[in-house]
Amino acid sequence: MNRRYELHCHLDGSVRPSTIADLARRQGITLEAPVEQLVTAPAGCGSLGRFITYIEVPLQVLQTPDALSRAARELVEDWSADGVVYGEARFAPQQHGRQGMTIDEAVEAVAEGLAAGEAATGVRTGLLLCCLRHQTPEQSLAVAETALRHRDKVAGLDLAGDELLYAATPHRAAFDLAHAAGLPCTVHAGEAAGPESMWEAIDVLGARRIGHGVRCTGDSALLERLRRDRIALDMCPISNVLTGAVPGMSEHPAIPLLEDGLAVTISTDTRTTAATTLEREFAGWTAEQEKRAQANAAEAAFRRD
């Protein structure tokens, strides 16, 4: 097994189902169906919008610092079991204030959990904060400001959400602030929308990495830009099929793009929602192909120490 790197992993979509059930029980939250049915997207999910609905129950139980810390620590343990030596967890701290937790407290709780997992397993970790496309520019700016207040704990800034419905440009101020402070940036693009969303991510928000990016294949100028500038593509094959970004695993562009010299990396996106691991994501890859993808990920990692 290669030394694995995971660069694209959403904390709220990667909470163990058993932990979700336990937290719900402790918090007095009644689950209306078996937990796996509520938090794992079915094979015929078909759209990003529907896929995201399976993260709502995890979000319900991740509204306290203790719950966030536990989820983060357990994610690092799961990375260790999956052969991961470096993992980046991303989350939107502004989504965790339903019971009064502040955005800073949420960041501190996740950072604490990652640090505990790192100490126990030796897996190195990075923390990314997510702005959300459907929220206001002011909310995104607040996330960026929070990232900078916790610069010793936060490795990067992300923009997540449905790019088909919401443009990236309104969030430029947040990313300009991050760039001015030297904080690396990534943007979800080319998942629900086409190459134009990736151009916007690169030229407007200055993304150094693209989350997913599977819809780049028809734009030769974009492919050349990605290759020339070594802009990494953090692809998540099983998730990409579940969300309908690609029709099936045999049509996924990761291996062809890797063979064409692009900086393809492979992640799970959401270990629970997509019911996956890196071991599963790399099924069918040759050892040499996985080795190259891991080298790309090591080069593109945001944490440097």
DSSP 30: P
Half-sphere exposure of 196 (CA within 13 A, CB side): 6
Cα end-to-end span (Å), the chain: 24
Which of 195, 184, 183, 136 has the alpha carbon at shortest distance from 161? 136
Catalytic residue among 88, 118, 191, 281: 191
Which of 181, 109, 105 has the alpha carbon at shortest distance from 148? 181
Quickly count: other Cβ atoms within 10 Å of residue 179's Cβ: 16
Which structure tokens are listed for 106? 């949420």
Which structure tokens are listed for 72? 């983060």
Rounded distance between C-alpha atoms, residue 256 and residue 214, angstroms: 11
Which structure tokens are listed for 270? 């959401």
Active site residue 191: yes
What residues are annotated to the active site? 191
